[in-house]
Amino acid sequence: MKNKERRIQERFSLNLQVKISTTDENGKKVFAGETTTANISAGGAFIITDRKFPLAGKLELEFLLAFEDLEKLRFILSVESLRACQGKHVWVKASGIVIRKEEQGVAVIFDTDYQISPLQPSEKR
């Protein structure tokens, strides 16, 4: 029997820099570390980490993307954002839920109402 691909969005093997934050028991945002992705789509990502995040745990993520990667991932951007970011690297903020844990890392599905704003051009070129 063939293993059917269940993903709706196209997945890209991109090793992107990602900053991870969680919330502590008091509701305070806590920086959990910086690592890279193994792959990413408009709907989620697999993050390489040895940190043990709980299944169904909420993560806040910031990805460093080149403008070309924004286009590949088909993020919806305003005309103004497209003009401001063209040819630059940007930090994209998203949040999501851990849906799978593996020895190499965690799979995160982005919240359906995630927003990629504010888009701020980074200093990296």
Q: Identify the residue whose tokens are 């806040």.
A: 60
Distance CA 46, CA 66 (A): 18
pLDDT of residue 74: 61
Q: What is the mean pLDDT of each run of 10 residues along the chain (125 residues)?
A: 55 89 90 94 91 93 80 65 72 90 95 52 47
Q: What is the count of structural domains for the chain?
A: 1
Query: Residue 18, SS3?
Result: strand
Give the HSE-up count for residue 72: Cα atoms under 13 Å, Cβ half-sphere: 13
Q: Is residue 7 part of a domain?
A: no
Q: Please report where in the chains the tokens 């951007």 appear, as a residue.
A: 77
DSSP classification of residue 83 = H
Round to whole Å and give the CA distance between 54 and 42. Answer: 22
Report the pLDDT value the prediction gives residue 125, as an integer from 0 to 100: 42
In a domain, 71, yes or no: yes
CATH, residue 100? 2.40.10
Residue 12 lies in a domain: no
The residue segments making up the domain with residue 87 are: 17-119
Can you give the pTM of this predicted structure? 0.76
Say how far apart CA 63 and CA 52 lie, in whole Å.
20
Phi and psi at residue 67, to the nearest 5°: -55, -40
- What pLDDT score does 76 carry? 56
Task: Report pLDDT for 38.
Answer: 95
